[in-house]
Amino acid sequence: MDCLYSEMIILGVKPDEYTNAMVGLLSACAKAGDARKGKQIHLFICKSWEIDMNLILESALIDMYAKLG
């Protein structure tokens, strides 16, 4: 995770409150083993007009799916 934030700083990417909230939810789903809820959050992110996909969210999704299979 430290590498991700270092790369964000280099690229000038700044997480917003939506990004932080979604990353937290995806991480919680991965830790809890709740693939169904994780997929629902992923769908919400894809359909939401307020949330733009970015490096942080993409990494969180990859991490979640890698842990949940």
What pLDDT digit, counting tens, does each position of 4-38 carry? 556 666 777 666 777 888 889 999 999 999 999 99
pTM of the model: 0.74
Res 4: pLDDT: 57
Please, what is the Cα angle at 47 between 26 and 22, to 5 degrees? 20
Q: Has residue 40 got a pLDDT over 60?
A: yes
pLDDT confidence tier of residue 1, bands split at 50, 70 and 90:
very low
Distance of CA 3 to the CA centre of its chain: 15
Please, what is the Cα angle at 14 between 36 and 62, to 5 degrees? 30
Instruction: Check: CB of residue 26 under 8 Å from CB of residue 38.
Output: yes
What are the boundaries of each domain within the chain?
Answer: 1-8+35-69
Instruction: Check: CB of residue 41 under 8 Å from CB of residue 22.
Output: yes
